[in-house]
Structure 1
Amino acid sequence: MKVSEASQLTGVSTDTIRYYEKEGLIPIIDRNDSGNREIDERIIRRITFAKHMRSAGMSIKALKQYVDLVDDTEDNTAKQKAILREQVADMEERRDDIQFAINHLNYKLEHYDDHMKEAENELRELENK
Structure 2
Amino acid sequence: MTIAEVSKRFGLSPDTLRYYERIGLIPRVSRNESGIRNYTEEDCKWIEFIKCMRSAGVQVETLVEYVTLLQQGDKTIEARKQILIEQREKLFSRIEEMERALERLNFKIKEYETKLIPAENKLKRLATTSTL
Matched residues in 1 for 2:23 and 2:16: separation?
10
Cα distance change on mapping 1:111 and 1:83 into 2, 3 Å: same
* Aligned match of 1:12: 12
| Runs of 5+ consecutive residues of structure 2 not aligned to the other structure | 116-132
The separation in 1 between residues aligned to 2:36 and 2:9, in whole angstroms, is 18
User: Structure 2 CA distance, aligned partners of 1:45 and 1:9?
Assistant: 12
Per-residue Cα deviation, 1:40-69 (whole angstroms, up to 9, x for no partner) = 222111111111111222110111111111
- Return the offset for 1:111: 4.7
The whole-number CA distance in structure 2 between the counterparts of 1:111 and 1:50 is: 41
Q: What does residue range 93-108 of structure 1 map to in structure 2 within 5 Å?
A: 93-108=93-108
**Alignment match, 1:92:** 92
Hey, what's the Cα distance between the residues in 1 that align with 2:5 and 2:71?
25
**Aligned residues between the structures:** 114
Residue in 1 that maps onto 2:39 = 39
AA in 2 matched with 1:55: S
Are 2:20 and 1:23 equivalent residues in the alignment? no
Who is 1:56 aligned against?
56
Mean Cα deviation higher: 2-11 or 56-65: 2-11
SS of 2:96 mapped into structure 1: helix
Matches of 1:88 and 1:6 in 2, distance apart?
28
Q: Distance in 2 between matches of 1:9 and 1:111?
A: 42
| CA deviation after TM superposition for structure 1 residue 25, in Å | 0.5
TM-score in terms of structure 2 length: 0.73
Q: For structure 1, which segment, 15-24 or 97-106, has the greater mean C-alpha deviation from structure 2 after superposition?
A: 97-106
> Larger Cα Rg: Structure 1 or Structure 2?
2
Q: Distance in 2 between matches of 1:33 and 1:16?
A: 23
RMSD: 2.1
Which residue does 2:82 correspond to in 1? 82
Measure how far apart 1:106 and its partner are: 3.3
Q: Provide the rounded CA distance (Å) in 1 between the counterparts of 2:86 and 2:56.
A: 12
CA distance in 2: counterparts of 1:80 and 1:73, whole angstroms: 10
